[in-house]
Amino acid sequence: MEATYEGWQRSGQTQAEYAKGCGIALWAFKYRVKQGKKREKVINSDFIPIKVRAASLTASTSEEITKGRAMTGAPYCEIRFEGGHGVRIESRESMGYLRALLGSWGGQ
User: Would the CA dihedral through 92, 94, 97, 102 be positive or negative?
Assistant: negative
pTM summary value: 0.40
**Per-domain residue ranges for the chain?**
5-43, 62-105
Q: Cβ of 32: how many Cβ atoms within 10 Å?
A: 19
- In angstroms, the CA 8 to CA 87 distance is 44
Tens digit of pLDDT per residue, the chain (108 long)? 678 888 898 999 999 999 999 999 999 999 988 888 887 776 666 666 666 666 555 545 555 555 555 555 666 777 777 777 888 888 878 888 878 887 776 554
